[in-house]
Structure 1
Amino acid sequence: MSEHSGPSTSAGSRRIVFVVGSGRSGTSTMAGTLRTLGMHVPQPEVVADATNPKGFGEPRWVVDLHAELLQRSNVQVSDARPRAWLDAGTTSGDHATRERVTAWLEEQFAVSDELVVKDPRAAWFLGLWRAAADRCGATSSYVTMLRPVTEVVGSKQAYYGRMGAGSDQGAITRTAAWVNMMLHTERATRDQQRAFVHYGDLLDDWTQPVFALGEAFDLTSVRTAMAVDIAEVHRFIDPSLRRVTATWDDIGVPDRLRELADATWQALVEVARDDTDEVRRRCDELREAYAAQYAEAEAFAHSTVVAQRRTAAAEARRQAAAEAPRSGADRVPHAVRAMVPPAARQKLRKVVGRERPQGPA
């Protein structure tokens, strides 16, 4: 693999492609493909592991930044709450964070004019990244990877573990988070230079969607890729990467959520085919329907939430009492204290400031 990089020659030639979408939907494969064709993934990258043996294509600095911002926002990587978008946006909107990201991007553009930034957490902070790219005089583009929700959830169950001790709770939460993530990502990338790519198409014949991106986004690295790089991508992309092909029969999800997830998938397929105002309105309707369904679920679960808060508060009080420092008298065994005459005990309490109030005469 060769990397066509070098010092930036002009701000107008700067390009940054954000690979977004739910985790386990092919984002790593897309980022790795663009990197192999010559675009620059800022270094160092997250190290490959058993869940992604060919690498994540994720800059370590970006992942650490997003993890920090999510923690400050009290938001999870796959968060099903509609209001989580507001919390994440509020946290990342401060001037210091924007300056920090802008400075980092400038350092990366000193290496190459064409960057790839991929991290499933990035969707929470697209406004931050867009503003920083604008400050650097760079053109932002967005590739949203599409993979059926059942395969995404099935892959997470297989590689990240089941939540809820073998119950369907993990599948429900992950399905809801997928709907929340994908509908927001569609909304956040509107009126921007964007494309939606099916993971299956990438595995079947990567040249068609990727070279189409090169033309649509004016990516010099992709449009002028060398034969050796193209051959390397053929070796990099393996149809066996699609290791999980789950269906709804494999995932226990309530019918209403299943129907909403299916409708979301169909709407995103339509956006990928023809990005019209009509299909965007359909996505808006689905976001509203999801928010209403989530609010209803929260109302049902309110008693459980209150009970858990009470349990947590009681446990915190118990822990605090157990860790509180004990006085010297408290550390003396009761049998020993009982041997001291009552009058002497009263005098000792008075000396140490623990005199007990006297009863009525």
Structure 2
Amino acid sequence: MSQSLWQRLFNHRQQTKQAVLILGSGRSGTSVMTKCVNLMGISLGTDNLLAPSKRINPKGYFENKDVINIHKSLGSRIRYRPAFKGYYDSPKIKKDRAALTTYLRNFFENEQYLAIKDPRMNDYIELWQRVLADVEVQPAEIVLLRNPMDVVNSNERAWHRDTTLAMRQWQVRTLLSLRDTDCEHRILVTYEDLFGQTLTTLK
């Protein structure tokens, strides 16, 4: 292979823009993963982050409040999970899709990488994938997996959440994150590997 072709391939890799979507049920290590990715040099997109909880997540959730607001608006229009087929092209969410497109287009105008974590994003993975394609950004999806009983117990300790509701939330968000992500752009990370083999997992 000629040197010029190697250079073109290198330049292409350097110019590829990626959004790291950190997915999976809450209480599965998503906050820790997000902060680790951030410490590795990936922007969280804003300083306007969800405030830490002294009792539950004292070091922070690392969730982008601008994105949270878009997700909440989506949730006010799409009240059931999973969302109906083709929701991402529905007139009902036209304004929210436009808001997400504008946010991502403005961010990636001067940046190459972005990490986003919000539990609601599991409900709207297909929308994210389409909007990222519209702004010519490649998704890089990280799905956190944890034993559901451990998630339920963690929910009970943190929020005294009903066991059935906690199990349903784990089920819906975990299954959506597995169903809707693309295996070519996805890596699965277990809670045990993140905390037991941290450096190897992050590498």
TM-score bracket, normalised by the shorter chain, equals: 0.7 to 0.9
Q: Are 2:51 and 1:47 aligned?
A: yes
Amino acid at match of 2:175: L
Give how far 1:89 is off.
5.9
CA RMSD, 1 decimal: 2.2
Amino acid at match of 2:163: A
State how far apart, in whole Å, the 1-side matches of 2:125 and 2:157 are: 29
Given that residues 89 and 124 in structure 1 are in contact (C-alpha distance below 8 angstroms), is that contact kept between their aligned partners in structure 2?
Answer: no
Give the aligned partner of residue 15 of structure 1: 18
Q: Are 2:89 and 1:85 aligned?
A: no
Give the aligned partner of residue 207 of structure 1: 199
Q: Are 2:172 and 1:140 aligned?
A: no
Given that residues 153 and 175 in structure 1 are in contact (C-alpha distance below 8 angstroms), is that contact kept between their aligned partners in structure 2?
Answer: yes
- Summarize deviations over 1:235-282 as a string: whole Å, max 9, x none: xxxxxxxxxxxxxxxxxxxxxxxxxxxxxxxxxxxxxxxxxxxxxxxx
Give how far 1:201 is off.
1.2
Give how far 1:205 is off.
2.7
Amino acid at match of 2:51: V
Provide the secondary structure at the position in 2 that maps to 1:195. strand
Give the aligned partner of residue 182 of structure 2: 190
Counting matched residue pairs gives 188
State how far apart, in whole Å, the 1-side matches of 2:112 and 2:88 are: 29
For structure 1, the 5+ residue unaligned runs are 1-8, 76-83, 163-169, 212-361
For structure 2, the 5+ residue unaligned runs are 1-11
- Summarize deviations over 1:188-222 as a string: whole Å, max 9, x none: 013441011012211123221211xxxxxxxxxxx
**Relative contact order, higher structure (CA 8 A, sep 6+):** 2
Give the aligned partner of residue 159 of structure 1: 158
1:35 alignment partner, one of 26, 35, 38 = 38
State how far apart, in whole Å, the 1-side matches of 2:139 and 2:120 are: 17
Given that residues 11 and 138 in structure 1 are in contact (C-alpha distance below 8 angstroms), is that contact kept between their aligned partners in structure 2?
Answer: no
Given that residues 140 and 193 in structure 1 are in contact (C-alpha distance below 8 angstroms), is that contact kept between their aligned partners in structure 2?
Answer: yes
Give the aligned partner of residue 149 of structure 1: 148
Q: TM-score, normalised by structure 1?
A: 0.49
Mapping of 1:163-178 within 5 angstroms?
Answer: 170-178=162-170
In proportion to residue count, which structure has more strand?
A: 2
Amino acid at match of 1:198: T
Given that residues 92 and 125 in structure 1 are in contact (C-alpha distance below 8 angstroms), is that contact kept between their aligned partners in structure 2?
Answer: no
Amino acid at match of 2:67: V
- Summarize deviations over 1:20-77 as a string: whole Å, max 9, x none: 00011100100100101110001111111121111111101111111121122224xx
Give how far 1:151 is off.
1.3
Q: Are 2:58 and 1:57 aligned?
A: no
Amino acid at match of 1:15: Q
Give the aligned partner of residue 71 of structure 2: 66
State how far apart, in whole Å, the 1-side matches of 2:28 and 2:174 are: 11
Q: TM-score, normalised by structure 2?
A: 0.84
State how far apart, in whole Å, the 2-side matches of 1:17 and 1:139 are: 9
Given that residues 139 and 185 in structure 2 are in contact (C-alpha distance below 8 angstroms), is that contact kept between their aligned partners in structure 1?
Answer: yes
Given that residues 16 and 116 in structure 1 are in contact (C-alpha distance below 8 angstroms), is that contact kept between their aligned partners in structure 2?
Answer: yes
Give how far 1:91 is off.
6.8
State how far apart, in whole Å, the 2-side matches of 1:91 and 1:128 are: 5
State how far apart, in whole Å, the 2-side matches of 1:161 and 1:125 are: 27
> Are residues 88 and 122 of structure 1, via their aligned partners in 2, closer, same or farther at CA, if it must alter by over 3 Å?
farther
Does 101-110 or 20-29 show the bigger shift?
101-110
Mapping of 1:1-361 within 5 angstroms?
Answer: 12-43=15-46, 44-50=48-54, 51-75=56-80, 84-87=81-84, 90=87, 93-94=90-91, 95-162=94-161, 170-211=162-203
Provide the secondary structure at the position in 2 that maps to 1:85. coil
